[in-house]
Amino acid sequence: MLKKCAICQKGALTGKLVSRKGQYKAKGGTGSKISRWTMRKFLPNLQKMRILIKGHPKKVYVCAKCIKKGEIVKAP
């Protein structure tokens, strides 16, 4: 089972975690510089739910946004 939303296919995104060094210009410094960065993942808010898919109940991951929108039908 993939860690993606079953409704909108939302999954993990990659980005950078940036460490900065130096005093900001607004505080009287020469400006901040990027000293190092590491790759990281931005994960969606997925919840494991039992929903109806094509009339049959199935346990899948659904993102919180789809739950709030009401795009799912919970299985009894």
Question: Residue 37, SS3?
Answer: strand
pTM for the model stands at: 0.72
Distance CA 48, CA 10 (A): 14
Q: How many CB atoms lie within 10 A of CB 5?
A: 22
Q: What single-letter DSSP state applies at residue 13?
A: E
Q: What is the pLDDT of residues 5-40, one digit of tens each?
A: 999 999 999 999 999 999 999 999 999 999 999 999
